[in-house]
Structure 1
Amino acid sequence: MRLNGEVSHKEEEEEGEKENGNLLPQKVVVVGYALTSKKKKSFMQPKFEVLARKKGIVFIAIDLNKPLSDQGPFDVVLHKMSGKEWCEVIEDYKQKHPEVTVLDPPDAIRHLHNRQSMLQNVADLDLSDCHGKVCVPRQMVIKKDPLSIPDEVFEAGLKLPLVAKPLVVDGTAKSHELFLAYDRFSLSKLEPPLVLQEFVNHGGVLFKIYIVGEAIKVVKRFSLPNVSKCELANVGVHSFPRVSSATASADDADLDPSIAELPPQPLLERLSRELRSRLGLQLFNIDMIREHGTRDVFYVIDINYFPGYGKMPGYEHIFTDFLLNLAPAT
């Protein structure tokens, strides 16, 4: 497996030959796509589309006003749409066209729309033989009655501070809102349904692990800073802008090596392989942190379906290679 989407000199030379018209694609892969306007703008970038054409990949926008089976034929259907009606369309299409690769099955995607269930597959893993330990934060779900939160937190024995996140992940800005609660009584000000996670000090750095089939790309992003013992005396609930966004890149920052060192490759490969199998998904990313003061204790705090690949360095080569490998041999 090639980590981080590295492109060899040979591949660069072959790409140059393609540009000169000396090397023609061996096969044509037709990809039908159904993306929101926001996702289309970030993902279908001109550089990506040009490279895809040179490699023999043709993208065709799916017309949502026409029956999907009447369009194509497609080798691959790529989608990120919401709604029960669209899920039914995709499921019906899968049954009628088993020869087409659908990325990804709606039932599998739905598993990541709920923060109560998304981390369960990580909690079930034992990766102690892969040069590290992967955990999930202790958490609880509050579905209603915010006034009951203080007592429920006390009874569950969760340690402060707590990170509060919306329970449902639906792609909206609201679903990525983040709050840090220093005292349990202030939690009653929040709006359920939500997930409360114990905050783990991690040096203010988060590892965003992009998965594209078997390919793995890791980037560092700035995250919430450590909470000191003095700060534990604070009260209230503090909101934060969306952390780990591309604008918060920490890849070129001068960081303490003990904080900035990437997780071990064997650990990432095993984690990726296990989650692809257990989730039944090919396209997702993992938000992972290293417990501050340790070298090999990691926590997965979020998993996102079809993340912002357009912000991932080298995504054009990684994704086109992935699509070519999916298509049936000619």
Structure 2
Amino acid sequence: SAEIGQKKKKKKCVSQKKKKKINLFLRSIDLTQPLAPQGPFDVIVHKLSDVIVEAEHDSQSQQLLSNFQSFVSAHPNTVLLDPLPAMTKLLDRFASYRIMNWRICSPPYLEVHSASDLSSIQHAVMAQGLSFPLICKTRVAHGSFSHEMSLIFSVGCLADIHPPCVLQSFVNHGAILHKVFVVGEKHFCVERPSLKNFPSGPCDRETIFFNSHQVSKPESSSDLTALDEQMPCLPPLSSQAVAALVRELRAQLGMALFGVDVIINIHTHTLTVIDINIFPGYEGVPQFFSALLSHIESVLDKHTSECPRAISSPKTTHTTVGPSAAL
């Protein structure tokens, strides 16, 4: 059976009937064991974000990542979804926000690398043209801690931030978040609850600490998402604008599996990107697995035409899903 594991948790995602129909052979891999004997692999679909993040301070994770990178380097004909360098960028909000800041509409932001004196941070906020309220996010864009955010309403409350972090101007968007899930050439839009509107400009309100994952759950109901009755209607999400955005990001990221958090500015009606997510959970996208399998087949078709001898069998494709995949 095809199994995709998150550490010790495993779940079946593709039925035997479907596997026969699409002519793919799927197997899970064990990163703690030598990879070569577990192959051969034509495609490795993975979410090694846990390993990449932990490798910064954990020797065991460093070794697992090193072994995986060595295997990939030694097997150039194995297709990796997605490339490790591209995924590593999205785990660092400093790096991903620099991407967002290039030819993509996104709010002004400031990288805060260390706990400098408060006056220096205040000066940088003004110099970068940020406006209150500010939303503060952790630098690491993965794991439960990455969902812990705060809303800063005044210069004095900048003392509440915990660097390294990103400060981003908060854009009023009618408490509606559009999550765009990308799977190769296809993308899917899912609407979620989001933070309500706040008056623009500094005020004496205390910092609000919140968990973005809890706020934006499909069934979320919170004071932070409650809108005024006078809220003007927002225009529908432009499918053409989203398609253009996805094309631009795919080209910049060199990735096929990612998510984009999009809002519509209530004042300008501008499509605005506020975050890019590495291999999201695709919750609310029932077509995800068929889209993923379709993308894998198209990747292999292209790879076969470019490298006719690269694929291990003309009829059976060995597709591996890494042990940290969240599908």
Does the pair score TM above 0.5? Answer: yes
Take 1:120 and 1:37, find their aligned partners in 2: how far apart are those partners?
A: 32
Tell me if 1:188 matches 2:159: yes
More displaced stretch, 205-214 vs 149-158: 149-158
For 1:244, the aligned partner's letter is S
Q: Which protein, 1 or 2, shows the higher relative CO under an 8 Å CA cutoff with sep ≥ 6?
A: 2
The aligned residue for residue 25 of structure 2 is: 58
The aligned residue for residue 139 of structure 1 is: 109
Tell me the secondary structure at the aligned position of residue 89 of structure 1: helix
For 1:187, the aligned partner's letter is L
Residue 161 of structure 1 and its aligned partner are, at CA, apart by 0.3
Q: CA contact under 8 A between 1:32 and 1:62: conserved in structure 2?
A: no
The aligned residue for residue 99 of structure 2 is: 121
2:47 to 80, 85, 91: 80
The aligned residue for residue 252 of structure 2 is: 278
Residue 72 of structure 1 and its aligned partner are, at CA, apart by 1.4
What aligned pairs does 1:200-239 form with structure 2 within 5 A after superposition?
200-228=171-199, 233-239=203-209
Tell me the secondary structure at the aligned position of residue 116 of structure 1: helix
Tell me the secondary structure at the aligned position of residue 85 of structure 2: helix
2:132 to 141, 145, 160: 160
> Is the alpha carbon distance of 1:153 and 1:257 closer, same or farther for their aligned partners in structure 2, counting shifts above 3 Å?
closer
Structure 1 segments unaligned to the other structure (5+ residues): 1-29, 126-133, 250-255
Q: CA contact under 8 A between 2:193 and 2:218: conserved in structure 1?
A: no
> Is the alpha carbon distance of 1:32 and 1:100 closer, same or farther for their aligned partners in structure 2, counting shifts above 3 Å?
farther
> Is the alpha carbon distance of 1:324 and 1:157 closer, same or farther for their aligned partners in structure 2, counting shifts above 3 Å?
closer
Matched residue count? 279
> Is the alpha carbon distance of 1:240 and 1:246 closer, same or farther for their aligned partners in structure 2, counting shifts above 3 Å?
same
Give me the identity figure in percent. Answer: 32
For 1:320, the aligned partner's letter is L
Q: CA contact under 8 A between 1:206 and 1:289: conserved in structure 2?
A: yes
Take 2:261 and 2:147, find their aligned partners in 1: how far apart are those partners?
A: 13
Residue 47 of structure 1 and its aligned partner are, at CA, apart by 5.8
Take 1:109 and 1:232, find their aligned partners in 2: how far apart are those partners?
A: 36
Q: CA contact under 8 A between 1:123 and 1:136: conserved in structure 2?
A: yes
TM-score by length of 1: 0.75
Take 1:49 and 1:291, find their aligned partners in 2: how far apart are those partners?
A: 46
Take 2:17 and 2:277, find their aligned partners in 1: how far apart are those partners?
A: 27
Structure 2 segments unaligned to the other structure (5+ residues): 56-61, 222-230, 305-313, 315-327
